[in-house]
Homo-oligomer: A and B are copies of this chain.
Amino acid sequence: MNSINIVLVQQKMYADYQANLDYSIAKIQTAAKNGADLVVLCELHSSLYFCQEESFQYFNLAQTIPGPLTDKLAETAKDNNVVIVGSLFEKRADGLYHNTAVVFDKDGSLAGFYRKMHIPDDPGYYEKYYFALGDLGFTPIQTSIGKLGVMVCWDQWFPESARLMALAGAQVLIYPSAIGWDPRDDANEQQRQFQAWQIIQQSHAIANNLPLISANRVGLEKDTSNKTAGIDFWGQSFVADTMGKIIVQASSKNAETIQTQIDLTEIEKTRQLWPYLRDRRIEAYNDLNKRYIDES
């Protein structure tokens, strides 16, 4: 395909699993009616962001693949003839869990899944407690509409992962996300954080000459441990073109779907004008697999 009609679902999540899922499904159905080839949901779109505290009770939210959530997404993909990028708290084995993105093709088949590779851990985002490090690497997922470079949230901050997806043939970078503000921070600091988040992702589009889709959740979710003021998820999901320019962006406050086209023929055109892949100094990059280059 030369062009993909995409819908991105910026969702506000609630404690009610079924309500969250019903909302996602309804938005996918509407998107498909409006001509979408691809619908991208947010990270962990069936629950509140439970990682605000470390509590073993939340392991009950995890599901296997296949399982009820992926069965429902598969059925919805097939019934609506649309590719879906979903996200779940995956139970891989007893006591082994991942933060996983799943991709269903238009025929309802599981095109592939991606287990979040970079796992954050800082106050309010205790993900290292819940999720094991992904072990599938950065491999794009082949679908009937193209090769999707699906990653998850914290991966956004690492140029390495976007580059590896591009080198492996990804035609679009996709980041389901769950990131927000500490309500106690002032507006300047909040804006500084949001801008950094958007700019680092725009840079992946630029560095790799690829379109990029970032789907973030929205709305204030309380910290059930009452240690913090909760997280005000900043929404502002967006789509960028192969030069990193923002094509469309959602609001910071509301649940919203946004629809646009991405033109895959722009990838080669942009790469001919800005030939970074030609000029990478691969023989000088070996130390990128070091933690740090200590002084000898």
A residues in contact (CB < 8 Å) with B: 117-120, 122, 133, 137-138, 154, 157-161, 163-164, 167-169, 192-193, 195-196, 199-200, 202-204, 206-207, 243-245, 273-277, 279-293, 295
Contacts and interface: CB of A to CB of B under 8 A. Distances in A.
Contacts of A280: 118, 158, 160, 291
Nearest to A160: B285
Contacts of A291: 277, 280, 282
Given A203-B159, A284-B117, A289-B283, A244 B167 contact: no
Contacts of A167: 287-288, 290, 292-293
B164 A288 contact: yes
Determine how many copies of this chain the complex contains.
2
A281 to B, nearest CB: 5
Given A158-B207, A164-B293, 19 more contacts: A117-B284, A122-B273, A122-B275, A133-B281, A154-B279, A157-B207, A157-B276, A158-B276, A158-B280, A160-B280, A164-B287, A192-B245, A195-B245, A199-B206, A200-B244, A203-B206, A285-B288, A285-B289, A288-B288
Nearest to A207: B159
**What 8 pairs between A and B have smallest CB-CB spacing?**
A203-B203, A159-B159, A168-B293, A285-B289, A167-B293, A282-B289, A196-B243, A196-B206
A125 to B, nearest CB: 11
A169 to B, nearest CB: 7
